Structure 1
């Protein structure tokens, strides 16, 4: 199974694709789309939509997994993240792919064994699970890879119930 994971955001939107076979997970590709706050909102969202579309075309994932939005104190940030999620969801739907969404605590539990792990712990565990060099990935990439790992290693019946 090949899973595209996305850590949504308009300023920085992390992505990562993992391949799972026989309980082993390997990294296929990871990165981050960055857009400027000075850019028009529709162009920022188009960057994400086009990026997800290209990844799906080039790597043919079986599923797309996104981290659910964390609604903090800043409503503008929540709206922006929601728009980025929407752009990614529409790109996946346009390709006929189903999407799964996971709460940040569930992703952290799956990858770190602790639902309140911090960003550094997530980065470290993603590096260990995927045997990546110590200087990669960025926190946005690690979050995207973590959600992809979470989905890829979730038992099939649990995936249906998500």
Structure 2
């Protein structure tokens, strides 16, 4: 199974592609797509769309896994993360790839064993599971790979349905 993991953000979008064969997982691709605050919103969303589309058409994932965001007081941030999610959803629709969402506690539970793990513990487990020589940096990259791995762990259990 090939999974495209996304840590959504308008300024920094983490993108990681993981392939799982049996119990072995390996990283196929990882990048952080950066946009700048001074660019018009359509250009920023277009840049994200093109990067996600390129990864999806290159690696042909069976699923896209995204970090579900929870915002309580940051309406503007939630709005802009929505722009990034729009780019991801458009690619998913065009290529008929199901999208699954995982909240941070579920990702931490899957990789570290408890939902209160810190980012360093998650990055350490991503490195260990994927057999990387160094910790994936920046955190957007580690998060994208962690989300892809989480889908690999949960999907065989059929415990999660595609986002609707």
**2:76 paired with 1:65:** no
TM-score for both structures, normalised by structure 1: 0.94
Give the corresponding residue for 1:17: 17
Q: Is the 8 A contact 2:4 2:64 kept in 1?
A: yes
Counting matched residue pairs gives: 162
What SS is found at the alignment partner of 1:36?
coil
**Alignment partner, residue 158 of structure 2:** 157
Instruction: Please say if 1:35 is aligned against 2:35.
Output: yes
Q: Which residue of 1 aligns with 2:101?
A: 101
Contact 1:23/1:153 (<8 A) preserved: no
TM-score (norm 2): 0.93
What is the distance in 2 between the residues matched to 1:139 and 1:9? 12
- Matches of 2:119 and 2:70 in 1, distance apart? 14
- Which residue does the alignment assign to 1:44? 44
5+ residue gaps, structure 2, are none
Matched residues in 2 for 1:160 and 1:136: separation?
A: 28
In structure 2, do the counterparts of structure 1 residues 153 and 41 end up closer, same or farther at CA, with 3 Å as the change threshold? same
Q: Which stretch shows the higher mean deviation, 17-26 or 66-75?
A: 66-75
Question: Does the 8 Å contact 1:52/1:92 carry over to 2?
Answer: no
Q: Which runs of 4+ in 1 moved over 4 A?
A: none
User: Deviation of residue 131 (structure 1)?
Assistant: 1.0
Q: Give the gaps of 5 or more residues in structure 1.
A: none
The separation in 2 between residues aligned to 1:160 and 1:41, in whole angstroms, is 31
**What is the Cα deviation at residue 47 of structure 1?**
0.9
Shift of 1:72: 4.0
1:158 is paired with a residue whose SS is coil
Q: CA deviation at 1:19?
A: 0.5
Q: Distance in 2 between matches of 1:30 and 1:108?
A: 19
- After alignment, is 10-19 or 64-73 more displaced? 64-73
SS of structure 2 residue aligned to 1:65 = strand
